[in-house]
Amino acid sequence: MAVVYCALDTAELDSAARLAGKLDGAVGGLKLGLEFFSACGPEGVARMAAAGLPIFLDLKLHDIPNTVAKAVRALLPLKPAILTVHAAGGPAMLRAAAEAAKEAGEHAPRVVGVTVLTSLDDGDLKRMGWAGGAAASVETLAEVAREAGLDGIVCSPRETAAMRARHGDDFFLVVPGIRPDWAAAGDQKRVTTPAEAAAAGADVLVIGRPITAADDPAAAAARIADELQP
């Protein structure tokens, strides 16, 4: 069954901590991204981890292999459950990230490669020179990520079923761009509902504003959990 990680996209540590407290028991983990990390740093991540929920550290590392490997090592003391790198960084960078993560032994995070951001559609990609569009780009980057030793990828709900069919059950699929029918799409373009993404084979559903912007975040998370029941 797919696990929901709530995306806490905020620069306010106290606000994030209060929200995490409300969500304890209602979600499977917390996703902390660039906004949070830039404002709150490793100390903020450690405080959020102390609440007891697994942490998905979504920093989308992308640099030369040596730099990314050192960045991964610097993050390992925080014991994230999931860590992201950009799959477009290439085979050597991805291998360096995967090998550095393994140094944490039993506490090693799952390293997943971000393929195509869910804010991009085929028109955006073609404008950037990716003529094959989203589906072909995701497939190519997924192959590179798997060959480099990553645990899985981040892909949109629209590519999830194809990725699961092609790569099997042992390839970890993290799926953002999840919007329940009762929530606005916002700036996400390649979206689907939680139930549809779970049925397609997602391991982790990343859901932010439908939970965090709700009047009652815990109730919104519970509503999503109900939708995921078989």
Domains and CATH numbers, the chain: 3-228 (3.20.20.70)
Q: Where residue 79 falls among pLDDT bands split at 50, 70, 90?
A: very high
Q: Say which of 22, 31, 60, 189 is annotated catalytic.
A: 60
Quick check: is 60 catalytic?
yes
- Residue 154 pLDDT > 90, yes or no? yes
95-113 pLDDT, tens digit per residue, is 999 999 999 999 999 999 9
pLDDT of residue 98: 98
- Residue 185 pLDDT > 60, yes or no? no
By mean pLDDT, which of 125-129, 170-174, 210-214, 221-225 is the weakest? 125-129
> What is the rounded CA–CA span in Å between residue 32 and residue 40?
10
pTM of the complete model? 0.92
Distances (CA, A) of 97 to 33, 46, 58, 101, 146: 18, 21, 14, 6, 13
Q: Mean of the pLDDT values across residues 10-31?
A: 94
pLDDT of residue 186: 55
DSSP E strand boundaries for 167-230 = 172-175, 204-207
Averaged confidence pLDDT in the chain:
92
> What is the rounded CA–CA span in Å between residue 5 and residue 150?
20
pLDDT of residue 190: 55
- Residue 187 pLDDT > 60, yes or no? no
pLDDT of residue 184: 60
- Residue 188 pLDDT > 80, yes or no? no
pLDDT of residue 115: 94
By mean pLDDT, which of 3-12, 111-120, 156-165, 174-183 is the weakest? 174-183
